[in-house]
Amino acid sequence: MIFILIGRPKVVAKLPEISAKMKRLISCCAQRKELGWRNSSNPVKQMNNLFSPFLRFYLSLLAKQLSQTIRITVEYLHIILKVKKNGFYGGQLYDVSRWSVGA
C-alpha cells in the first residue's frame, strides 16, 4: 500500500518506494489543499472538489500500474481509492484526526 501525504512532501520524499510520478502527483494535490476540510459540512463534496476528473483518472492509471490500492491522507480525512481492471470506481472517507503518521 502506498501512502501519499498531501501537503507534506518532505515526509513523502523520505519514502523510497515513492516514484517520481507519485511525487509529481503529490505536488499536484498539495496545490489544492486549501479547500476547507475542517469547515466543510459535506466532506464527500469536498473530496469531489479536490479530486478533479482528470486527477481521479490519473490516480486510477497509477494504481493499475502499481497493482495496489493508493491510500491518501489529507489532514483530518483518510481517502482510500480503489481500482478495478477498468479503472477508478470509488473512494471511502475516514476521520483520522486522532491518528498519528507512521510507517
The predicted-structure confidence for 18-73, as pLDDT tens digits, reads as follows: 455 555 554 444 444 433 334 445 544 555 555 555 555 555 555 555 555 555 54
Decide if 23 is inside a domain: yes
Residue 47 has φ and ψ, to the nearest 5°, of: -60, -45
The structural domain count of the chain equals 1
* 88 has pLDDT over 50: no
Decide if 6 is inside a domain: yes
Question: How many Å apart are CA 2 and CA 15, to the nearest integer?
Answer: 9
Decide if 72 is inside a domain: yes
Q: For residue 5, what pLDDT is reported?
A: 41
Decide if 100 is inside a domain: no
In the numeric block, which cell numbers belong to residue 11?
515526509
Decide if 56 is inside a domain: yes
**Cα separations in angstroms, 9 against 3, 5, 26, 43, 85:** 11, 7, 7, 23, 29
Query: Which structural domain, as residue segments, surrounds residue 75?
Result: 2-32+40-95
